[in-house]
Amino acid sequence: MEIQFLGTGAGMPARHRNVSSLVLKLLQERNEAWLFDCGEAAQIQILHTTIKPRKINKIFITHLHGDHIFGLPGFLSSRTFQASEVQTPLDLYGPVGIKTFVESALKLSQTRLGYPIHFHELSKDGLVFEDSTFKVEAAKLEHGIVCFGFRVTEKDKIGELQVEKLKALGVPSGPIYGKIKAGQPLEINGVSYPASDFIGEVKLGKVVTILGDTRKSVRSVRLAEGSDVLVHEATYDKANQGVAHQHFHSTSIDAAKVAREAKVGQLLMNHISARFTIKGMYELAREAQELFAASKVVRDLEEFKIE
């Protein structure tokens, strides 16, 4: 599982930052990728990566401000041409209104997609997706319009089969191995061995929480609790705490407080105001690290492996 940031800026593009968008790569886990927000020129940023648009089969939109959605019509259109002959469906999750925005843009531009979009409009907290390997939960944040954060949880995996132990008992490879891993006890010469004797420790799934724009809140902390990685906006520095609160945004200090209270493994800060140069970025990181050591301000196209 990896995260790659396509855009890490707030409000409008800057020379060194595009606006909000990131991709959660689940290539080993599911052979697919999930896009979170799709700011202007997200598809151009993708061209500088190894990401294949046809692998993106889920898009999660935190809220309907332009710097988070203006790249969506273009990406959806290009995905038709960048896919192979087999067009794969796409699930789009977002606040109420996202369907109208997308369908209006496609209709007015007379754009015809080669694949269906399944819209999932969100109006309240709760589970928005679940299958045998992952689940995604959404929770409303504190912003000027309806805005969601998403908690992505990989489900625990059964431990590896201890093949050497089975061979030591003279058990040959074959269908019996699959039955043991499925929990069936092993019978040898009248002796019954529980399947757990031959299965390694459960591999705990990873948890990633990706927040949209928000003030610091109890809801943010609750959603992020125990995450391996928290992606949190840090639009302003601590000198602009009042401005941040007025505009329903967070400072680097706010982000660090959420990370500390939620006991996350790592904090990745994005949605940085264009007023901050590279030097200012280091200052934002320093402020956060004073409260939560595992803090980092991310740059466009940076990629992080979730350990």
Q: Which two tokens stand for residue 235?
A: 């639009």
pLDDT of residue 85: 66
Nearest to 97 by CA among 59, 61, 58: 61
For residues 67 and 33, the answer to whether their CB atoms sit within 8 Å is no
pLDDT digits (tens, 9 = 90+) for 35-50: 999 999 999 999 999 9
User: Does residue 169 sit within a domain?
Assistant: no
99-131 residues labelled b (16+ CB within 10 A) or e (exposed):
eebbeebbeeeeeeeeeeeeeeebeeeeebbee
Percent of the chain with pLDDT over 70: 99
State how far the Cα of 67 lies from the Cα of 56, in Å rounded to an integer: 20
What is the CATH number for 106?
A: 3.60.15.10
Task: Write out pLDDT tens, residues 226-284.
Answer: 999 999 999 999 999 999 999 999 999 999 999 999 999 999 999 999 988 878 889 99
What does the alpha-carbon distance between residue 303 and residue 49 come to, in Å, rounded to a whole number?
10
% of the chain with per-residue pLDDT over 90: 78
Q: Kindly state whether residue 196 falls inside one of the protein's structural domains.
A: no
Number of domains in the chain: 1
CA distances from 304 to 88, 184, 219, 307 (A): 27, 39, 25, 9
The alpha carbon dihedral of 222, 33, 272, 97 has a sign of negative
pLDDT at 279: 80
Asked whether residue 185 is domain-assigned, the answer is: no
192 inside domain = no
17 part of a folded domain: yes
Domain containing 111: what range? 2-157+204-305
For residue 179, is pLDDT > 80? yes
Question: Does any domain span residue 175?
Answer: no
Residue 162 has a pLDDT of 87
- pLDDT of 83 strictly over 70: no
Is position 83 within any domain?
Answer: yes
Active-site residues: which are they? 67
Per residue in 189-209, pLDDT (tens digit) is 888 888 888 888 888 999 999
- 195 in a structural domain: no
Contact between 59 and 14 under an 8 Å Cβ cutoff? The reply is: no
